[in-house]
Amino acid sequence: MSAPVNELKAALLRGEQQNGLWLTLANGTLAEIAGKAGFDWCLIDGEHGPNTLQTIAAQLQALAATPANSVVRVPIGEDWVLKQVLDLGVQSVVVPMVHTAQQAAQIAAAVRYPGKGVRGMGAALARASGYGSIVDYASSANEQICLFVQIESAEGVDNIDAIAATDGVDGVFVGPTDLSADMGFEGRLNGPEVLAAIDHVYTRTKAVGKIIGTVTFDPDDFQNQMDKGVQFLGLGADSMVLNQGLQALAQKGPR
């Protein structure tokens, strides 16, 4: 038996649009609700969400019973962090703050087993292999990994050609908020310099045939991002949707 097919990666490679939701509240019940809402994927945020390995595992279990594909953003691209998340059964990962091709290559190696990488051989004990029931997991897992590296600095923009071309990097994800701040335009995500930098990343990523990803919290921007070639598109976050929905409901109450 081989590693499960990564349906998200397969859909992206077929050129299909895949839209999702950021999960930041570290709650399995909320993940289950989101997974049944109609999103193609749900991303568990280990960078800015209050997640631990245990809360990530609980959300993966909740999402497994829904049509949505699971993605995890790790807090940092360290080998040991990636190894632990992959052993939970994650097949699609987003790694923040990637500034150089050397970083990208190190991360690409960390998420794959020897032959193509340096991932530790311990998944037979873990959820990734069905706790040992997927006997060919280690020999088949590499091709099912989908790796997005996140560009969110001026240095990353300058190095985009080499980063995007790195073997083992499946896609490039732009983080517009951190990018704008690093460029000296904090809070001005739509500043002309920031938009030009983002468009440059998109163009260079497309030039090497890699997948483009980003997240936007403006529904009026969804089609614009897709028109620019963003195939892996975050449509918002659970915390913001909940906050806005509750505020709107409270305002409708009798006074």
CB 172 within 8 A of CB 199: no
Q: Annotated catalytic residue: which of 48, 50, 161, 203?
A: 48
What are the tens digits of pLDDT across the range 101-153?
Answer: 999 999 999 999 999 999 999 999 999 999 999 999 999 999 999 999 999 99
Residue 132: CB atoms within 10 A of its CB come to 11
CATH of the domain at 181: 3.20.20.60
Is residue 213 one of the residues assigned to a domain? yes
Number of domains comprising the chain = 1
pTM value?
A: 0.96
Is residue 250 one of the residues assigned to a domain? no
Is residue 245 one of the residues assigned to a domain? no
What are the tens digits of pLDDT across the range 4-56?
Answer: 999 999 999 999 999 999 999 999 999 999 999 999 999 999 999 999 999 99
pLDDT at 182 over 90: yes
48 catalytic, yes or no?
yes
pLDDT band at 79; cut points 50, 70, 90:
very high
CB 31 within 8 A of CB 59: yes
Surface-to-core class of residue 85, CB atoms within 10 Å of its CB (0-12 exposed, 13-18 middle, 19+ buried): buried
Is residue 254 one of the residues assigned to a domain? no
CB 46 within 8 A of CB 26: no
DSSP letters of the chain? -PPPP-HHHHHHHTT--EEEEEE-S--HHHHHHHHTTT-SEEEEETTTS---HHHHHHHHHHHTTSSSEEEEE-SS--HHHHHHHHHTT--EEEE----SHHHHHHHHHHTS-TTT----S-GGGSGGGTTTT-TTHHHHSGGG-EEEEEE-SHHHHHTHHHHHTSTT--EEEE-HHHHHHHTT-TT-TT-HHHHHHHHHHHHHHHHTT-EEEEE-S-GGGHHHHHHTTEEEEEEEEHHHHHHHHHHHHHHHS--
Is residue 1 one of the residues assigned to a domain? no
Q: Domain range holding 50?
A: 7-240
Is residue 118 one of the residues assigned to a domain? yes
Q: Which of 191, 105, 190 is nearest to 149 (CA)?
A: 105
What whole-number distance in Å separates Cα of residue 145 and Cα of residue 10?
10
Q: Which of 112, 177, 118, 182 is nearest to 145 (CA)?
A: 112
Is residue 246 one of the residues assigned to a domain? no
pLDDT at 76 over 90: yes
Q: What is the average pLDDT across 56-74?
A: 98
Displacement of CA 147 from its chain's centroid (Å)? 8
pLDDT band at 88; cut points 50, 70, 90:
very high
> Whole-angstrom distance between the N-terminal and C-terminal Cα of the chain?
62
Q: Which of 11, 9, 10, 15 is nearest to 226 (CA)?
A: 15
What are the tens digits of pLDDT across the range 211-238?
Answer: 999 999 999 999 999 999 999 999 999 9
Is residue 56 one of the residues assigned to a domain? yes
